[in-house]
Structure 1
Amino acid sequence: MKANTEDHQFVLQKSMTEIYSDWKAENQNTKLLKSKFLKMRPKNVKLQNQRKLIQCLCEYCENVNLKITAFNNFAVRKNQQHLRIRDKYEAINMILCEKNGEQFNKITCIEGKCVNCGTENLSKRMEPLIIANEEIKWQKWDFVNVPNHKTGKEIKKRQLVTFFTPAQQLFVQLLDELQFLLYHLFVASWQQNQFRQLNNRPPEKTVVLTMDFAENFSCFSQNEIQGAHWAKDSVTIHPVIARYQCKNQECNNSMVDDIIDIISNDLQHDVHAVQKFTEVIIKFLREERGIDVEKMFILSDGCAAQYKSKVAFLDSSMSEVDNNIKSEKAFYGSRHGKNRCDGEGGVIKSKAARIIRNGGLINSAKDLYQQCLCLQKELTNPDGTCNHNRRKLIWVERSNIRHVRPNRVCKTVKGTRSLHSVRGIGAGQIQVRKLTCFCGFCTATEHAEGTSSTCENEAVVGTWRSVNLNGFQHAKQE
C-alpha cells in the first residue's frame, strides 16, 4: 500500500493481451478496442513486469507462511474471514505473553518455560476451522528425490510440494513449527539488535568487521561471441565493513565506515581464505589507516565452511599469535545473515557491468580489481576534512592463500550450531556462549568463566564457558 493513498496495490497474473482475449471471449457482443481496454486499467493495478522476484528466503519462516496462507484461504472459503492470521508474527504473539513495553518477550516465554502462555489462544481462535476437519490444500518447501541426468543417480533437492491434509492435522503441524520458529526469530532479532549497538559505538582500540562472500562475478564482454559466452572466468569478491573510531582528535571519536573489498582469483571459499583475508585487513588497518587496534569483533553468518567451524574457532584462539590482536566472533541467526556486504558486492558488480557496456575489458579477476579502483574513497574530503566513509580495494593472489594448514587441526566443538558468540583466550582455548551481548561490560571487560554477573543480559545470553580445542598441538605450530 502506498504511503499517500488508501488504495491497495495489485499485480496482474497475466499479460494485458491475455486479459483482453479472455474479456472478449466472455463479452462477444460488446465491441471495445484493445487500446481503449488497456486505458481502462486502474492505476493501482500494476503490470506483470512490476512484480518483484523474491528469493533466498528462510525455509523455516516460509514454510510457516505457507501454512498460514493455506488456513487463510480456507477461512475465506468458509466465510470466516475474521479468523485470518495476518502473518507469522501475529501467530507467534498469540502464543506468547505480552511484552509490556519491553523490546523482547521474556526468555522464559521464548524457551517455552512460562506457565502463563501457550497455544491455547491460537487454538481457540482457529477452532471453527479445525472442527470442520476438511482437507486443506497447502504447500511446503521439502526435499524431493530427482534424477541427476549427468550421473544417472538420484539426488535430493528442495522443491515446493503440494499436499492435501485434514485441517486438524495441519494445525498440529503449524503449532509445532511455531514453537520452533519463535526461538528461531528471537535469536535472529536479538543478534541483529546487538550488532547494531556495537556498530553504532565500537569501544576504543577495537574494530568491528562485518564480512561475507558475495556471489562470484562472471567476466563478460561487450559484443561477445558465442564461444566466449560459455567460457567465463569467475572472480571472488569478499566485502568487509570495518567500523572504528577516527584517530583524528578533531573528529571527537566519530565513527569511520571503512569498506574493504577483497578481490581474488582464488575461487575456494573456505575458512583458510577467510583467515588470509582477515590477516590482510588487520595489516591494512594498522599500516595504511594508522589505527591502534587491540581487539576485533567479527560479525558473520554461520556458514560452516567459512566462518563457524572448528578451524575458524582455532584461528580465533590463535589470533594474538598470528596477528597480535584479540578476536571475538559473533554470528547472525540461522538463515537471517543478510547484511551490508550483500549490497557492497552489488556495488562492485554494477560498476564492472557499466564499464564493460561502455567498452572496457574485464577478462580476469585482476582486470576487475584494476578497473574498479576508481570506486576507492580517500581519507580526506576535497575541503581537507576527514572522510569517514571510505572504500579500499585489496588484491589477494591465489598463491598467497594456504588451503592446507596441517598446524590447524582440532576436534569439533560440541553444539557448534547453537553457539552465537565465540572468543579466543589462548592457543587452543576459546570461550563460548549461546547468544551475543555487547553491553558496556561485555565489550570493555575481560572476565573469567561463570563470573559475568554484571552483564546486563546474562539471563538471556548465558555465561561464558571455556572450551579446550581437543586435538590441537601448539608445539607443532610453524
Structure 2
Amino acid sequence: MDAINKELEEEQRILTIEDLVGKTLCTDVGRLCVERECADCGVGSVMTDLCEAIDNKTKVKKWSKWEKTEKASKDLVFREDSLSNILTMLQTAVHDVAKHLKVAEWQRRQYTRLKSCLPKGHAMCTVDFSENYLCKFQNEVQSAHWSYRQVSVHPCVFIYRCNQPECYKVVTEYVVFLTDVLKHDSNLTKHILNLCIEKGKELGLAALHIFSDGCSSQYKSRYTFHHLSQLQELHPHIKITRHFFGSNHGKSLCDSCGGVVKNAAIRAVLAGREVIQSAQQMFEYCSKNLTVTGDDSCSHLENLRSFAVIQPTDIPSQTTSVGLHFPAKGMLSIKKLVLFL
C-alpha cells in the first residue's frame, strides 16, 4: 500500500489496513460482507477508484512483502513490479484479510464483555508462553556469553469474582510457571492446563473459560485436542470451555506479567543481588520478592501473583507409536465464534 500511496494525492491516501478493509465493507457489516458474498460491497469499487486515481499504471515501483523463505519461516522480501500488478496483488490480499480482521475484532469484544459481566463462580484463564529468560551474569567469563542457559516462563492469568459472599469485585491472579524444559510442545502445555484446572478447583469454580492463541505446536496439536476431549469427563464438577484467539492478534496480560517477572530478575542479577542459573533458582527469587498474596477476608485489594516450578520429570510424555496403532477417541463440541450474553 505504501507504493500506491506515493502515487496518490494526500487526501486520497489510505494509511492503515483497517481503513482499506473498511472501504470494502457495508456500513452495517454482516456475515455476507465479511465472507465476500454481499452484493452491495466488495473490493472491486475500491480498486476501481485507485486505478482511476493513478495516471501511469505501467510505472515500476519497489515494494516489500513478508513471505516464507528457505532461510527463515518469514522474511521481508523486496520486489519491483508495475503499479497495475501491485494493484492486482493488493486486491487479492484485501479480499482475504477482511474476515481475519473482523474475527479478531469480534473476539476482542466478546473477551471484554465476558470480563465485565463475569458471573460469580466463573473464571477466565488466559495462558501463553513468554520469551525464555536468559540466565545472564553480572560478572562472567568470556565463553559464558555464548552459551546462556534458559528458563521457560509460562504465565497464566485468572480473572474471577471475589470469593466472599457479599463482594463482587474482580480479582486478577497471576500464576507463573517456571521450568528448565525448553521444548514448548503439547506435553508441556497439557501439563500446565491440568495445573490450571486444579487451580480452578481450589477456587471452588463452577466454570473455567480458558483462552490462548492458536499456536499449532503448543495449543492446537492433535494430542492437545484429544486431551481437551477428555477434560470434561476427568473433571465433571467444573465446566471447561476452550477459546482460541485468531493467530497473532496482539498481546495479552500474560505478556505484561512475563515482562515484569523477567525484568525484575534481570535487574536483581545486574545489581549483584542474585545469581539465577535455573528454574529452581528463579522460582526461589520470585517467590521471595515478587509474590503478592491477599488477606484472608477479601483478596481483591491487590492483584495476586504466585509462582510454581515444573520439574522435567513432572511432565508425562506422549507415546507416538501407541497413538498411531491405537487411535484414541474423543468428542468435542466446536463453534467458529462464541457469543457471551
Give the C-alpha shift of residue 354 in structure 1.
1.1
User: Is residue 376 of structure 1 aligned with residue 291 of structure 2?
Assistant: yes
Aligned counterpart, 2:143:
227
User: TM-score, normalised on structure 1?
Assistant: 0.65
Take 1:408 and 1:107, find their aligned partners in 2: how far apart are those partners?
43
Q: 1:284 to 1:161 in 2, by over 3 A?
A: closer
Is the 1:96–1:109 Cα contact (8 Å) retained in structure 2? Answer: yes
- Secondary structure, counterpart of 1:113 in structure 2: coil
- Secondary structure, counterpart of 1:355 in structure 2: helix
Take 1:144 and 1:347, find their aligned partners in 2: how far apart are those partners?
34
User: Is residue 90 of structure 1 aligned with residue 19 of structure 2?
Assistant: yes
User: Is residue 317 of structure 1 aligned with residue 241 of structure 2?
Assistant: no
User: Is residue 365 of structure 1 aligned with residue 294 of structure 2?
Assistant: no
Is the 2:178–2:279 Cα contact (8 Å) retained in structure 1? Answer: yes
Aligned counterpart, 1:465:
none
Aligned counterpart, 2:301:
387
Matches within 5 A, 1:277-296: 277-287=192-202, 291-296=203-208
Matches within 5 A, 1:185-204: 185-204=101-120
Is the 2:171–2:300 Cα contact (8 Å) retained in structure 1? Answer: no
Is the 1:212–1:300 Cα contact (8 Å) retained in structure 2? Answer: yes
Q: 1:391 to 1:181 in 2, by over 3 A?
A: same
Give the C-alpha shift of residue 162 in structure 1.
2.0
User: Is residue 269 of structure 1 aligned with residue 184 of structure 2?
Assistant: yes
User: Is residue 115 of structure 1 aligned with residue 39 of structure 2?
Assistant: yes
Q: Deviations over 1:87-140 (max 9, x none)?
A: 2122112111113xxxxx211111111111123431342133445222222111
Q: Across the two proteins, how many residue pairs are aligned to each other?
A: 334
Take 1:410 and 1:194, find their aligned partners in 2: how far apart are those partners?
38
Aligned counterpart, 1:397:
311
Q: CA RMSD in A?
A: 2.4
Q: 1:225 to 1:111 in 2, by over 3 A?
A: same
Q: Deviations over 1:382-432 (max 9, x none)?
A: x97753511111111110001225699489xxxxxxxxxxxxxxx711111
Is the 1:270–1:306 Cα contact (8 Å) retained in structure 2? Answer: yes
Q: 1:409 to 1:242 in 2, by over 3 A?
A: farther
Take 2:78 and 2:196, find their aligned partners in 1: how far apart are those partners?
48
Q: 1:124 to 1:321 in 2, by over 3 A?
A: closer
- Secondary structure, counterpart of 1:250 in structure 2: coil
Is the 1:348–1:372 Cα contact (8 Å) retained in structure 2? Answer: yes
- Secondary structure, counterpart of 1:305 in structure 2: coil
Give the C-alpha shift of residue 83 in structure 1.
2.5
- Secondary structure, counterpart of 1:435 in structure 2: coil
Unaligned runs of 5+ in 1: 1-67, 100-104, 147-155, 412-426, 440-478
Give the C-alpha shift of residue 326 in structure 1.
2.9
Take 1:384 and 1:159, find their aligned partners in 2: how far apart are those partners?
50
- Secondary structure, counterpart of 1:371 in structure 2: helix
Structure 1 ranges of 4+ moved more than 6 A: none
Take 1:112 and 1:268, find their aligned partners in 2: how far apart are those partners?
40
Aligned counterpart, 1:138:
63
Is the 1:263–1:395 Cα contact (8 Å) retained in structure 2? Answer: yes
- Secondary structure, counterpart of 2:7 in structure 1: helix
Q: 1:118 to 1:282 in 2, by over 3 A?
A: closer
Q: 1:135 to 1:284 in 2, by over 3 A?
A: same
State the AA in 2 paired with 1:361: V
Aligned counterpart, 2:74:
158
Matches within 5 A, 1:32-43: none
User: Is residue 70 of structure 1 aligned with residue 11 of structure 2?
Assistant: no
State the AA in 1 paired with 2:214: G
State the AA in 2 paired with 1:436: V
User: Is residue 128 of structure 1 aligned with residue 52 of structure 2?
Assistant: yes
- Secondary structure, counterpart of 1:169 in structure 2: helix
Match of 1:299 among 211, 229, 240: 211
Take 1:162 and 1:283, find their aligned partners in 2: how far apart are those partners?
50
Give the C-alpha shift of residue 295 in structure 1.
2.4
- Secondary structure, counterpart of 1:329 in structure 2: strand
- Secondary structure, counterpart of 1:249 in structure 2: coil
Q: Deviations over 1:275-331 (max 9, x none)?
A: 2112223323434xxx21232211000011111232222212211343443321111
Q: 1:409 to 1:117 in 2, by over 3 A?
A: same
Is the 2:170–2:300 Cα contact (8 Å) retained in structure 1? Answer: no
**Bigger mean CA deviation after superposition, 122-131 or 293-302:** 122-131
Aligned counterpart, 2:121:
205
Take 1:284 and 1:90, find their aligned partners in 2: how far apart are those partners?
43
User: TM-score, normalised on structure 2?
Assistant: 0.90
Is the 1:111–1:183 Cα contact (8 Å) retained in structure 2? Answer: yes
Question: What percent identity do the matched residue pairs reach?
Answer: 28
Take 1:348 and 1:217, find their aligned partners in 2: how far apart are those partners?
9
Q: 1:408 to 1:350 in 2, by over 3 A?
A: farther
Take 2:170 and 2:321, find their aligned partners in 1: how far apart are those partners?
37
- Secondary structure, counterpart of 1:393 in structure 2: strand
State the AA in 2 paired with 1:348: V
Take 1:217 and 1:124, find their aligned partners in 2: how far apart are those partners?
51
- Secondary structure, counterpart of 2:333 in structure 1: strand
Take 2:133 and 2:299, find their aligned partners in 1: how far apart are those partners?
35
Take 2:321 and 2:256, find their aligned partners in 1: how far apart are those partners?
36
